[in-house]
A and B are shown apart, each in its own frame.
Chain A
Amino acid sequence: MSEQQRDLTIEVPVLARVEGEGGLSLEVKNGQITQLQLRIFEPPRFFEKFLEGRSYQEVPDIVARICGICPVAYQMSAVHALESIFGVKITPWIRAMRRLLYCGEWLESHNLHIHLLAAPDFLGYRSATEMAAQYGEEVKRGLALQHIGNDIIRMLGGRSVHPVGVKVGGFYKAPSLADVEALKQKIRAAIPQAEALVRWTASLGLPDDHQEFVCVSTHHAQEYPFNEGDLISSDGLNIPIAEYEQHFKEFHAAHSTALHSHLHDKPYLVGPLARVNLNYAQLPAPVRLNLERTNVQFPSNNMFHSLVARAVEVHFALLEALQILDNYHVPDSPYVPVTPRAGTGYGCTEAPRGMLWHTWTTNEQGEVVSTRIVPPTSQNQPRIEEDLKLSLEAMGLDHSDDILRLRAETVIRNYDPCISCATHFLKLNVNRA
């Protein structure tokens, strides 16, 4: 057997620098990948079952507990779905504050991923701590941008982790003008840092690995998507979110406690790269102009450009937050009244890692009868496995096990998988005699 056709088995028992517990199994025989499994073995968390019977008023605080990094996304998809059932019409102020809250979450999550999780892979370090010795200013810049995200979430949510300020119908409290003014000053000062971040990520010499894949995100004609829009794909899908189940199918794979998901029987991508690819025209002109000073262009079919897409969204989120805060006023009420009723509704918003789809059914009292939550990491799981196969084969399977393992981990981390989010549900069948 030649060196190029050796058989090998690579096990990554526990993935580092991702949230949650997962691993990777890879088998190569006769120069071909015969088995490749992104194994997710974090115990299922049964959030959907916990929520049954709960009042709609409890939902935002409970779903915020699904994830410490993207609680806002879970709150937003849930409140939109519940408000659609109850016929709630929110005010422009509430709508704007929800976009602002989402800006905070993207700033927090994206900067964590870029600086502490992904960048070490592309700069040849084993950890952010090692990288910080050489790239201290870049890491500090990233942490400062991340902390602005924390500040935004704390201002609207009462605290930066698992915020509690959101309710069905709006917010419990409106920020003061003094808090808003202080935040605006921080954001204004940070915008040049975000511009520099975009240029820095584009200059990192990311691997040149082009692949064919389908992108999916929400899309709004007038704005970059957070809370509203139809579902579109790069191969022509354009549907209201209520029609999600007619096109997307979840299924169970034996090696994962997270459900996998297909669009028309094929893997697809959600997340920053999919969003930028599908919504480039909705980005503000300063964001596009700054990006156009680099050698990275969107739409891109290089998955590693996800890192640049995250940085682009950091720049966007700062500008969006500043625009919202420049028009801020203290409202008469930070929420609108809600009268519960029975029904089924849908919510679909853009979590940092991608589209997060919910459906909720309530009874007349507004208690949860059932819910289904489809998080982005479980949607991306088949795409990650497809990407791993293509990336490793493109790089060449004749490399050492260590090099193959590192590339595989880099590919996985590039998606910023949140395994804890992905495993909040496992279909449970109980047969009783």
Chain B
Amino acid sequence: MSAPLLIGIGSPYGDDQVGWRVIEAVQSADLSLSAVRCETPVTTLLALLQQSDEVILVDAVAYEAPVGTVLCWSGAEVMQAQSAVSSHGFNLASLLALADSLSMLPRSLTVYGVVIDARNIPQVPDLPLSEAVAEAVEQIVALLRE
């Protein structure tokens, strides 16, 4: 059986970096997870989902909830995860639905979403995360540690 795979979806821009920051935190926390960054998921995510039977996804999501709120979906509910950013009209939910149509979903899939303010993502790369989203990174690492 393959080791669990953590996929952090993100970009270099503002709080949309959150998936990548979780990957970095996990890599320095000595957790028994394979961890990989994903950018432009429309071209790369489906291939990554094939790499393990057990996948955990982290992405920035847009919800009516305070910035930094951590949401979690598993089972059929993963299709409800509305990512904050999409590419070519494909957000996370539609890519997971496509993977489901193609029988390409892993046996076990958990999605952690961190609520960000999707209307105010800066165009300048590599700015620090907002305080609430930085705290969410720690929260997810703690959840993964459990």
Identify which of A129, A147, A150 gathers the most chain B CB atoms within 10 Å of its CB.
A129
Closest chain-A Cβ to B20's Cβ sits at a distance in Å of 12
Asked if B39 and A162 make an inter-chain contact with CB atoms under 8 angstroms apart, the answer reads yes
Identify B44's interface contact among A16, A128, A150, CB under 8 A: A150
In the complex, chain B residues 100-134 whose Cβ is within 8 Å of any chain A Cβ: 101-104, 123, 125
Near B by CB (< 8 A), chain A positions 17-71 give 17-19, 43, 45, 65, 68-69
User: How many residues of chain B have a CB within 8 Å of chain A?
Assistant: 21
Residue of A19, A43, A136 touching B88 (CB-CB under 8 A): A19
- Contact B88–A117 (Cβ < 8 Å): yes
Name, among B46, B88, B89, B94, the residue most crowded by chain A CB atoms within 10 Å (CB to CB): B88
Q: What's the minimum C-beta distance from A8 to chain B, rounded to whole angstroms?
A: 25
B97 within 8 A of A: yes
A96 in the interface (beta carbon within 8 A): no
**A/B interface sample: 22 pairs, CB < 8 A:** A17-B89, A19-B87, A45-B123, A65-B125, A68-B39, A68-B40, A116-B42, A116-B88, A116-B90, A116-B98, A117-B88, A117-B89, A129-B101, A132-B98, A139-B98, A140-B102, A143-B46, A150-B43, A150-B44, A150-B47, A161-B43, A161-B44
Total interface residues in chain A, CB < 8 Å: 28
Closest chain A CB from B80 CB (angstroms): 15
Please measure, in the bound complex, the distance between the C-alpha atom of A147 and the C-alpha atom of B90, giving whole angstroms.
Answer: 17
CB distance from B82 to the nearest CB of A (A): 15
Whether A128 contacts B43 by the Cβ 8 Å rule is no
CB distance A68 to B90 under 8 Å? no
Q: Which residues of B contact A17 (CB under 8 A)?
A: 88-89
> What residues of chain A lie closer than 8 Å to B42, measured between beta carbons?
112, 116
B87-A129 in contact (CB<8A) = no
Bound Cα distance from A68 to B45, whole angstroms:
14
The answer on a CB contact under 8 Å between B97 and A112 is: no
